[in-house]
Chains A and B, each alone.
Chain A
Amino acid sequence: MKVRGYVAAAAVSALLAGGIAVLAPGAGASATPLNSGAMSDEGFAIRGADNAVRSIIPDEENTSSVSGTSASVSMESTDRIILSADARVFLLQDQDGGVLLSSANPTLEQGAETVPAKFVVEDGHLIVTPVEHSPNLARAACASSFWGNLIFNIGMAGVCAMLGIATAGPGGVACTMAVIGANLGIDWDRPC
């Protein structure tokens, strides 16, 4: 199914969750929703002139270092992603330079307002983030909880060893039991 750019622009608009960007296949490429019933949830596949299929599938969770909405990009090793200097124009090209997919001037909905956004490519993920982008707070919180858990265990190791030395063993063992209880009971991932 060959789809011309202007038709596809309407067909694949709002494919990424939140209606963030209009992605248009280039001339000679075709776009197919992976699930026509839930296009925005399932993403879509693009068949290029070389007959190879690329796909863009929205991620359930943005695990990248920047905030916004992310999608996994599956493409051929010879394909190239080109971003404009201001990162507001995205092009996916095949090895011959043919445009498989293009998108420009994405926006993000933040509450009631729509803010201008830009593209970021990170580890095979295409992320649409506000132009004034901020770090991914969820990921930062996860990192803090990891370090919190680590420092807690280092500190408690010192406390338990000192108690063990002071009480010739039993105090250290009791302290260690308390640490095990804390490790099992504290939900360190809650901030994530």
Chain B
Amino acid sequence: MCRFRTLLSGRVDWNPRQVGRLVRLLWSLTVLGTLVGFLVQALVGARDWSGVSTDMIPVFLGATLGYGLLWLGSVIAVKRREYPPE
């Protein structure tokens, strides 16, 4: 949590570790926030309980793929910077 606070107060560079932290924060916010939202909607009757798990699948997969690819991109970018192609 402390790291996230530091992250929010400092500049994020294309450093895989920092990007990784940011990505983890945003992924957690997206997935957990949407899940909590769906559960609240189900509680108030605006959504079927049975549909919550189904509706979470594209959110979970999309967030994982999107943030995962971006993190992978940052790792590759750093590697290429460290070991430029000859």
Interface residues of A (CB under 8 A from B): 146-147, 149-158, 160-162, 164-165, 168-170, 172-173, 176-177, 179-180, 183-184, 188-189
Contacts and interface: CB of A to CB of B under 8 A. Distances in A.
Interface residues of B, number: 33
A170 B66 CA distance: 19
Given A164-B26, A169-B22, A157 B63 contact: yes
Nearest to B21: A169
Interface of B: 7-12, 14, 19, 22-23, 25-27, 29-30, 33-34, 37-38, 41, 51, 55, 57-59, 61-63, 65-67, 69-70
Contact of A180 (B25, B37, B65): B37
B67 A161 contact: yes
Contact of B58 (A146, A170, A176): A146
Given A146-B58, A151-B62, A156-B66, A168 B11 contact: yes
Contacts, number: 99
A151 to B, nearest CB: 7
Nearest to B28: A176
A150 B37 contact: no
Name the 7 nearest CB pairs between A and B, nearest first. Answer: A153-B62, A157-B66, A169-B8, A149-B58, A150-B58, A154-B66, A180-B33
Contacts of B22: 161, 164-165, 169, 172
Nearest to A176: B29
Given A153-B66, A177-B33, A168 B58 contact: no
